[in-house]
């Protein structure tokens, strides 16, 4: 296994009932996945290792959200109104992660810039903090979505 291949098993240890998937050609594509749950939420991880001179590696960590389908960072920031959501946004920002919500998944993209050996050594502390923050942020967004639904129901 290439050095980057040790990263995903480290991440999977943070999950309940983890499963790692590598396709037949993952050695060539550099793409692998992990799934499981974290604090009762479905989690999916996609790791793309650099496979060409000008290619770039990245990691996407995603947690399932209910009632929130699509948001960009500005929408997430506007809807994370409670203290837990604001703290979670801060933690995620300190780890240089880009946020979005797509098809009911809160996603964090990690694509380090500059001279960085990607993905490097797995940091359990960093990624546990990230998953905890994502869990709190997802809950905050869900509460906001429920509040919006109640307000719409009251208006009609």
Q: Which residue carries 């060539």 as its tokens?
A: 28
pLDDT band at 60 (very low <50, low <70, confident <90, very high): very high
Task: Spell out the alpha helix ranges (H) of 14-123.
Answer: 26-29, 73-79, 83-94
The predicted pLDDT at position 77 comes to 95
Q: Which domain holds residue 44?
A: 3-148
- Residue 156 lies inside a defined structural domain of this protein: no
As a whole number of angstroms, the distance between CA 23 and CA 31 comes to 8
- Residue 75 lies inside a defined structural domain of this protein: yes
pLDDT band at 1 (very low <50, low <70, confident <90, very high): very low
Residue 63 has pLDDT above 80, yes or no: yes
**Beta-sheet strand order (sheet of 16-22):** 16-22, 31-38, 41-48, 58-64, 105-110, 98-102, 70-71
- Residue 14 lies inside a defined structural domain of this protein: yes
- Residue 36 lies inside a defined structural domain of this protein: yes
Number of structural domains, the chain?
Answer: 1
Residue 43 has pLDDT above 90, yes or no: yes
Q: Which CATH number covers residue 46?
A: 3.30.1460
Residue 2 has pLDDT above 80, yes or no: no
Give the other-Cβ count within 10 Å of 114's Cβ. Answer: 4
- Residue 44 lies inside a defined structural domain of this protein: yes
pLDDT per residue over 66-93, tens digit each? 988 999 999 999 999 899 999 999 999 9
Query: Helix or strand or coil: residue 12?
Result: helix
- Residue 107 lies inside a defined structural domain of this protein: yes
- Residue 127 lies inside a defined structural domain of this protein: yes
Give the other-Cβ count within 10 Å of 81's Cβ. Answer: 13
pTM reported for the whole predicted model? 0.88
pLDDT per residue over 99-144, tens digit each? 999 999 999 999 887 666 677 788 999 999 999 999 999 999 999 9
């Amino acid at each position: 296994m290439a050095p980057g291949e040790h990263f995903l098993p480290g991440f999977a240890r943070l999950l309940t009932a983890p499963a790692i998937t590598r396709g037949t050609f993952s050695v060539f594509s550099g793409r692998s996945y992990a799934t499981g749950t974290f604090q009762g939420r479905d989690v999916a991880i996609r790791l793309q290792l650099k496979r060409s001179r000008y290619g770039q590696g990245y990691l996407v960590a995603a947690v399932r959200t209910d009632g929130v389908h699509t948001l960009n960072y500005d929408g997430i920031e506007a809807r994370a109104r409670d203290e837990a959501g604001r703290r979670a946004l801060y933690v995620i920002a300190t780890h240089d992660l880009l946020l979005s919500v797509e098809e009911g998944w809160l996603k964090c993209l990690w694509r380090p810039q500059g001279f960085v050996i990607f993905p490097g050594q797995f940091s359990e502390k960093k990624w546990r903090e990230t998953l905890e923050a994502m869990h709190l942020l997802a809950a905050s967004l869900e509460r906001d979505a429920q509040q919006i639904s109640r307000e719409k129901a009251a208006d009609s």
